[in-house]
Amino acid sequence: MDFKWWQECVFYEIYMPSFMDGNDDGIGDFKGITTKLEYLKELGVKGIWLTPFYKSPKIDNGYDIADYYAIDSDYGNLDDFKVFIDKAHNLGIKVIIDIVLNHTSSQHEWFIESSSSKDNDKRDYYIWKSDKPNNWESFFGGDSWEFDEKTNEYYYHAFAKEQVDLNWQNPKVYDAMKEVFKYWIELGVDGFRFDVINFLTVNDNFNMNNPYDKNGEQLHINDKDQDGIIDLIKRLVRDIRHMKKDIFLVGEVGSENLNELKEYTGKGLLDVVFNFNLGSIKEFSLKKIYKEISLMDKVYNKDQIPTLFFNSHDMGRSISRFNPDGKRNGIESAMAVLLLTSYGVPFMYFGEEIGIRDLVCSKIENMNDIQGITKYNLEIEKGNSKEVALKSANISSRDKSRGIMQWNNSKYYGFSNSKPWINIEDKVYNVSVETLEQDRNSLIYLYKELIQLRYNIPCLLYGKYKNIAMEKDILIFEREYKSEIIRVVINFGEKEYIEEFEGDVLMTSLKNSRKIVLNRFDFIILYRKE
């Protein structure tokens, strides 16, 4: 079988402003990331995913792009990017970058021209209507139609009003985006992660209202997964692969339906898509995890490969979600084992390897994320108290996972010599790379060992599931490749579990591997040949 290079990688997502500051302005940048590439190499990372670094007013922290060809000055310049990507490649690390096709910033030159008059050549780059055609709401809350006083028409925005949706019915938009891909491919990028790719507006059917659930929350039915989106993606994938055959294409598809997700991946489509049903579960549930892993194995075709992740920039950190009250200490190790031994392409998120916890704001003034701030304002408009509004805002806010990387326990955690761009006064857990690297039994060493084990054992890279089982609070699965079988047993329960096995012990949390009695969050990885 012809395996792809990305099947042999553990990917590591870097949230650009929060990883490492190289010029001491309090904002992470390419110079800072470049100084930490050896750290990532030692960790075992073979692929980096960068969140947006393009010129942007940062209404949504860079997902509102004002210029697809320019590096935002907060992150450096083009020369800094070139130094970064050259060094990454020299260290054997591939680089994939976020790309937002659904919308641009309202400060993008296309929208500035489009909004200048109804007769402008770029008017149809965006979606304009003389009257609001439907009841669609923004995914951030509030109306998705914004009135423009200059031209007396409404424009459509699925997210913030400063994030204006592109009109993908216009072939000029498609051609313009092809040039963007060509530019970054020629600069050496190895892949793209498509943000909210299934939200693209590809037809003119705006006369259908969205329904509401029993709680009065709008169900986004007609403003995503529109007829024609799959054909557009097929065309886009084909054209990008003509530029670079082995490019890695990752999709963020906003859906909780696995049967919908699978429509976007496979032959002629995206290489992989994120399954948020698994990755973003709000609280720990072995039953839910088992269900999603089993379902992916059942539903996906042979040419479809799942993604594995439990953290990203859009959700609270898994260590906080799964152990909110400190009663499940050790679950982070068990989840690391699950992430790095399951079938699929694993994506880590920066700081996961040291157990960074959620950043929860003590006051609204400390919050940066527009999603959280919008939620706060909506709660206040409803008449709720500031306390209730703040609690709701913290639940919605994505600041939780966007706090700075903790390299050491100095004033600014070794991230910068200046005050960071994001609130740090609410940080309460002071773990750091420096302290954990002094302890061979720490979480960071577990990640290193698991990653190397994954690379060293072909069955952990390519082997599909032979069986998956859940016995009360025990997760057991076997993967098979050629004559190799890997058996993984993880105890998520409070009662001990005795494993009867045949084969060699590759790795275990047990001090004495001769007697296989697994207590809470213990694991064992076994190997045998048939």
Question: Exposure of 20 by Cβ count < 10 A (0-12 exposed, 13-18 middle, 19+ buried)?
Answer: buried
Query: What is the C-alpha to C-alpha distance for residues 478 and 342, in angstroms, rounded to an integer?
Result: 9
Whole-angstrom distance, CA of residue 493 vs CA of residue 476: 13
How would you classify residue 44: left for phi > 0, otherwise alpha for psi between -120 and 50, otherwise beta? left
Q: Alpha-carbon distance 288 to 455, whole Å?
A: 28
Would residue 231 show up in a list of annotated catalytic residues for this protein?
Answer: no
What 8-state DSSP symbol labels residue 158?
A: S
DSSP string, 72-134: -GGG--HHHHHHHHHHHHHTT-EEEEEEE-SEEETTSHHHHHHTT-TT-TTGGGB-EESS--S
Q: At residue 238, what are phi and psi to the nearest 5 degrees?
A: -60, -45
Helices (H), 318-442: 318-322, 331-341, 370-381, 386-396, 433-436
252 is catalytic: yes
Alpha-carbon distance of 327 to 329, in angstroms, equals 6
Written as six digits, the tokens of 368 are 């940066």
Which of 21, 64, 72, 195 is labelled catalytic?
195
Catalytic-role residue among 146, 165, 223, 252: 252
How many CB atoms are located within 10 Å of the residue 207 CB?
A: 8
Extract the runs of DSSP E, i.e. beta strands, from 157-206: 163-165, 191-195
Q: Read off φ and ψ for residue 310, nearest 5 degrees.
A: -135, 10
Catalytically annotated residues: 195, 252
